[in-house]
Every structure is written in C-alpha cells, then in structure tokens.
Amino acid sequence: MGSGTGVLVLFAHPAFQRSRVNRVLSEAPKRVEGVTFHDLYEAYPDFDIDVATEQELLLAHGSVVLQHPFFWYSTPAILKEWQDLVLEHGWAYGSHGTALRGKTLFNVITTGGREDAYKPEGHNRFTMRELLAPIEQTARLCGMRFLPPFVAHGTHGMTPEEIEAHGRDYERLLEAIRDGLVDVELAQTYPRLNADLDQIVRRP
Ligand SMILES: Cc1cc2nc3c(=O)[nH]c(=O)nc-3n(C[C@H](O)[C@H](O)[C@H](O)COP(=O)(O)O)c2cc1C
C-alpha cells in the first residue's frame, strides 16, 4: 500500500463559471501526462462524495495536489467534506491506517490578498504556511510529506499575461513532481513552491 505513481489533482471551485485564475490554472494538469485532474464540485454537486472511489484514486497516485481558491483562509467547503469522509480511521490514520504513507501532498492556491498581506505585520497577520497548519498536520498524521503551497497571490489585479505565467509555472511544477525532480529539502525553506522554481526543480 501507499505506492502509486503520478499526480492526483483534487480541484475545488464552487463557482467555476465565474473563475478567472483557476480557469486558466486548471488547464495545466490536463496538459501533463501522468496527472489526473478530478473536479470535486463537478463530480459531487450535492456533496455526495463516493468514499471508495476517492480512496482508490488516492491509492493509485504518489502525489496529491489540492487546487482551490483561498476561501476564508482555508479551502472551499467540499475539500473539508472530502477530508472528513475520505480520510477514514484505520485507512488513512490509526495503527492500521497506512494507505497514504509516503505520498506527497501540497496545495495550489489562488488568493485575492497580495503576498505582503500574508505576514505577521500584514493585513492578514499570518503566513500562508501558518494558515495551512490544519492541512499540514492532517497530512503528517496520515504519514504524508507536506510541501509548501504553490500560490498565485493578488488575483483581483492580475493581468491575463500574469495568469498565463502562473499556469506555465504550475505545469512545470507538476512535471517536476511527477518526475521526482523537486528538491524537497530546499523547497521546505521557501514560503511557496513557485517562489523560485529554477532553484527547487533539479535538472534531470
Ligand atoms: C467566499 C470567499 C472567501 C474568500 N476568502 C479569501 C481569503 O480568506 N483570503 C484571500 O486572500 N482571498 C479570499 N477570497 C478571494 C478569492 O480567493 C479569489 O477571488 C480567488 O482566489 C480568485 O480565483 P478565481 O478567479 O479562480 O475565482 C475569497 C473569495 C470568496 C468568494
């Protein structure tokens, strides 16, 4: 258990028809071979999450990405429901719960707030990494390796060119994750994975 190759992207946007940034970002996983894109609001418009299907998807992949807009310093609601239902005791955690051990997890997030708002002296007072503590600890409890998030900050003023650039960075990161080319120790020293991709993506 716990093996599986490739990357599973769990996508959550409750108003995708109004999305500017995730609309473009969500094209990146579809361009990368070995990446499965799974739209949770599309699959479960009534929140009727199929636990067995979700667990099979997790088992079949080595890395898991939670892609979503930042909503109230957290994820849209379906990702919380997904955690509550899918990460079962005796499967994901607990003395016999080893299904996710050794897998990698990180968030891909868009925020209305600018990067300098997410610091102790900033408007939002906490860093992104601090605000993601519940997800980080959930991953740890399940024996997963948690990486800093990929973040596209300041969505409201973002130009189409900037959005496209984030999409290309996301694509590059997914390829590197799939190929095991991310320097994980170095990545942990950055606030976000896309702070300096040239540094954290090793050459093949
Ligand atoms: C319900 C709701 C809550 C939000 N909460 C936050 C927040 O806590 N922090 C933040 O920076 N932006 C927040 N925003 C702004 C969204 O993150 C932003 O609109 C979104 O990332 C833009 O991506 P999109 O074009 O794909 O919709 C919130 C937006 C909504 C609708």
Digit-by-digit pLDDT tens for the chain (204 residues) are 345 789 999 999 999 999 999 999 999 999 999 999 999 999 999 999 999 999 999 999 999 999 999 999 999 999 999 999 999 999 999 999 999 999 999 999 999 999 999 999 999 999 999 999 999 999 999 999 999 999 999 999 999 999 999 999 999 999 999 999 999 999 999 999 999 999 999 988
Distance CA 163, CA 184 (A): 25
Q: What's 105's domain CATH number?
A: 3.40.50.360
Q: Is the CB of 125 under 6 A from ligand 1?
A: no
* Ligand 1 centre distance from Cα of residue 47 (Å): 21
The predicted structure's pLDDT at residue 4 = 74
CB of 19 within 8 A of CB of 69? yes
Q: Which domain holds residue 53?
A: 7-200
Mutate to test the pocket of ligand 1, among 126, 155, 162, 163 (most ligand atoms within 8 A of CB): 155
Tell me, yes or no, whether 25 lies in a domain.
yes
Mutate to test the pocket of ligand 1, among 70, 124, 170 (most ligand atoms within 8 A of CB): 70
* Number of domains into which the chain is organized: 1
The predicted structure's pLDDT at residue 1 = 39
The predicted structure's pLDDT at residue 3 = 59
Tell me, yes or no, whether 46 lies in a domain.
yes
Tell me, yes or no, whether 196 lies in a domain.
yes
C-alpha radius of gyration, the chain, whole number: 16
C-alpha closest to that of 148 among 89, 66, 40, 75: 66
C-alpha closest to that of 169 among 192, 144, 197: 197
Tell me, yes or no, whether 2 lies in a domain.
no
Tell me, yes or no, whether 1 lies in a domain.
no
> Considering Cα of 32, then 36, then 40, then 44, what sign does the dihedral take?
positive
* Ligand 1 centre distance from Cα of residue 22 (Å): 11
Distance CA 29, CA 11 (A): 10
Distance CA 158, CA 22 (A): 12
Closest atom, ligand 1, to C-alpha of 153 = 11
The structure's pTM equals: 0.98
Tell me, yes or no, whether 75 lies in a domain.
yes
Q: Is the CB of 71 under 6 A from ligand 1?
A: yes
Q: Is the CB of 107 under 6 A from ligand 1?
A: no
Distance CA 92, CA 33 (A): 27
The predicted structure's pLDDT at residue 144 = 98
Mutate to test the pocket of ligand 1, among 22, 71, 72 (most ligand atoms within 8 A of CB): 71
Q: Is the CB of 111 under 6 A from ligand 1?
A: yes
Residue 68 CB contacts under 8 Å (≥ 6 apart), including other chains = 11, 12, 13, 22, 75, 76, 79, 107, 108, 109, 110
* Ligand 1 centre distance from Cα of residue 90 (Å): 34
Coil vs helix vs strand at 182? strand
Tell me, yes or no, whether 20 lies in a domain.
yes
Tell me, yes or no, whether 106 lies in a domain.
yes
